[in-house]
Amino acid sequence: MAVVYSKALPQSGGANETPTRRFHTSTEKIIDQANPDITNIYAALLYGQQTRPDNPVLGKRDVLGTVTEDKQVQHKVNGKMETVTKQWSYFKLSEYKWMTYSQAVDYTTNLGAGFRSMGVKAKNRVLIYAPTSREWQLCAFGAFSQSMQVVTAYDTLGESGLLHAMNQAKVEVAFLKADQMPILARIMDQIETVKHVVYYQDLYGMPDGCKEAIDKVKTKYAVYTMEEVHELGVKNPVERQIPEGQDIALVMYTSGSTGKPKGVLIGHQGVMAVAGGIHLFIAPYIEHGHDIILSYLPLSHVLAFFVDVYCIYSGIRVGYGTPRTLTDDSVRECQGDIKELRPMVMMGVPQVWNTIRAGMLKQVNNSSWLVRKLFYNAVELKNVLRSHNLPHNFMDNIVFKKTREATGGRLKFIITGGAPINRNVQKLMNAALCPMIQGFGMTEASGLLSVQLPDDSTFNNVGAPCPSVEMKLVDVPEAKYFAKDGKGEIWVRGPSIFKGYLDNDELTRETVTEDGWLKTGDIGQWTDQGQLTIIDRKKNLVKLVSGEYIALEALESTYKNSLYIHNICVVADSRMAQPCAIVNIDDNQIAQMADNAGIDYNNPSEIATSQDFIKAVLADLQHVARENNLTKQETLAAIRIDAELWSPENDRLTPAMKLKRTDICDYNQDKLEDMYRQMGLDQE
């Protein structure tokens, strides 16, 4: 009999809403804390210290140096191949060095005492503007040990965003990596409330320009290294001032996919309710005190943050890595983070998995016909066997040995979230690596709202509601989504819901109802097994000229099946009968793709605008549409290519790797207008 992952509460639901559903084993009670009675984030670390004091918990690699290499790149110029020399620099890293629970408690207690002796008090705010690292998390726990609040700012955030976060949140202390100091130096005259600046640096040192920036910052602020603050704490010990559950832990800014990031007030108990909820169902799949997770996604994003906290609480070691050093190819004279750490669990946003998939398929597609056939059939077979609960791991040693070894060979399951994952990507990862589970989360819910279990072999869903929330679907009449058909906007309620937006009560009232339901803005549907499927986001539903709605994100996820594209932004409005798209193709790969498609060109810089190449890519995308049974009105009518790789650095993606639609359209205005002309649309 099929498992039912969530259950409807009796006597719930109404004319415009589905019954309320909860995780199948917690229909009586929503989980509101981690056990035993852990309602604040610092207590999660203390719990680890009490239960496994000498177990390693936080691991990092030191940067030992850099290695610069010349690379010969082939380019076709005026019909002739030319070789250009480019310089690339790579990090050389140490092995992982671990801090035990006891050491982490001592260090953060001293750091908190250090903050206190600088004059920082409970409820004051410490802004962390640094990449994901052990230092990031130690600073956060140091602040929590004295009931200070942490304000998060993505390390890729530009000057204006950083200034906005610092001034809006009335930050007292700014904590940075030395590399970020030049940015602080540039905006320091406009910073209003900061009194102290604390920085850390790599063992190897800091990049050019940072020392001068630090000197400049010192003219206005008291500047300390992290070690100096720690030493201050050692010399001036004070009692820890552990927060209450209802205290605010974080001012976390959303990723900004729908506009300006909003400052979300997240409570300690909210995060620990999520941790308690996860523990209820994930504990059987984990070897606590032994398993390791690789943490490399931005800690300023809720997804990475709550997973780290859960791991610290439950005894999963957290090893820090960076997107720049994950694989062996990206470092020198050492192994990449994945192979060095050999994690059992790893998390990623769909963009990460899409890149891994493209790498795998490139290798497979370059092999002989027989190997290709064997590989693709094995992917299908392993998924089928898994879905019937039949033995399938024997295939790992025959077909998937290489792909598994590339990720250290110990992965038990991988987690994807933050945006929809393509079914084919999930299928491939299930087979070539290990089970991939999909979660659905939101900053306003302290992280997790729903997630699949590791032995759930179904696709196109984000699992059951987390035991820390209850959920219902509510009519969205303008888009013709009705609860009576089992569809509607996802509303959630529970202890993990946020405490409001910073300085924006009006938006808080619009987002949370008086009786505590958070309106997620996402459109969902229940499966027969009680899992949630996300059909789209309210803001990304677009009405076509026919009056029908199309779901942009869902379409993008489908079109990513084309191996031509690195990323895609589907564009539609009420003048159109069919959508069009801006397609992002990596300019390092475009020449190879054009060669494969037999397209003639004189210079690679011409390919993105070559009509023949555009036609070839569009034809492939239309083929993908047919293969996936998209309707005519969901099929792309035209495309244009943007060959500058979209990234958070060039403002085309949010730091959580989601599309920044407005920015993408602004940067490609000419291309859009050209496409609209081709589609016979009036210019607005």
Ligand X SMILES: Nc1ncnc2c1ncn2[C@@H]1O[C@H](COP(=O)(O)OP(=O)(O)OP(=O)(O)O)[C@@H](O)[C@H]1O
- Tell me which residues touch ligand X (CB under 6 A): 254-258, 261-262, 302, 417-420, 438, 440-443, 462, 520-522, 534, 537, 656, 658
CB closer to ligand X, 90 vs 459: 459
Distance (Å, whole) CA 246 – CA 498: 11
112 vs 350 by CB, closer to ligand X = 350
Which one, 570 or 599, has the nearer CB to ligand X?
570
What's the burial of 196, exposed, middle or buried (CB within 10 Å: 0-12/13-18/19+)? buried
The enclosing H or E element of 348 equals: strand 345-348
Least distance (Å) from ligand X to the CB of residue 449?
Answer: 8
Question: Of 314 and 443, which has the nearer Cβ to ligand X?
Answer: 443
Classified as helix, coil or strand, 95 is strand
* Minimum distance of ligand X from residue 154's CB (angstroms): 11
| CB of 18 or CB of 258, closer to ligand X | 258
User: Which tokens belong to 197?
Assistant: 């600046």
Closest CB to ligand X among residues 520, 562: 520
By beta-carbon proximity to ligand X, the closer residue of 417 and 467 is 417
Residue 423 CB, nearest distance to ligand X (Å)? 12
- Give Cα separations from 71 to 37, 66, 326, 365, 592 (angstroms): 56, 16, 20, 25, 17
Q: What is the 3-state secondary structure (H, E, C) of 238-294?
A: CCCCCCCCCCEEEEEECCCCCCCCCEEEEEHHHHHHHHHHHHHHHHHHCCCCCCEEE
- The angle, 0 to 180 degrees and rounded to 10, between the axes of the packed helices 369-387 and 350-365 is 140
Identify the bridge partners of residue 318 per DSSP, sorted by sequence position: 58, 293
* Bridge partners of residue 278, in order along the sequence: none
C-beta of 111 vs 551, nearer to ligand X: 551
**Quick one: 383 or 416, whose CB is closer to ligand X?**
416
How many CB atoms neighbour CB 583 within 10 A?
Answer: 26
Q: What angle do CA 147, 153, 158 make, to 5 degrees?
A: 155
Peptide bond into 435 cis (omega under 30): no
Q: With respect to ligand X, which residue has the nearer C-beta, 202 or 522? A: 522
CB of 585 to ligand X, least distance (A): 24
Decide: 138 and 150 in contact? Cβ < 8 Å: no
User: Across the strands, what pairs with 465?
Assistant: 450
- For the bound state, the minimum distance from the C-beta of residue 157 to ligand X, rounded and expressed in Å, comes to 13
DSSP secondary structure, 428-453, as one string: HHHHHTS-EEEEEEEGGGTEEEEE--
Q: What is the closest distance, in whole angstroms, from the C-beta atom of residue 420 to ligand X in the complex?
A: 4
- What minimum distance in Å lies between the beta carbon of 508 and ligand X? 13
- Least Å distance, CB 417 to ligand X, is 5
Tokens matching residue 433: 């690596």
User: How many whole angstroms separate alpha carbon 586 and alpha carbon 314?
Assistant: 40
305 phi, psi to nearest 5 deg? -65, -50
Min dist. Cβ of residue 421 to ligand X (A):
7
Give the nearest distance from C-beta 291 to ligand X in angstroms: 23
Question: Nearest Cα to 312, choosing from 43, 659, 647?
Answer: 43
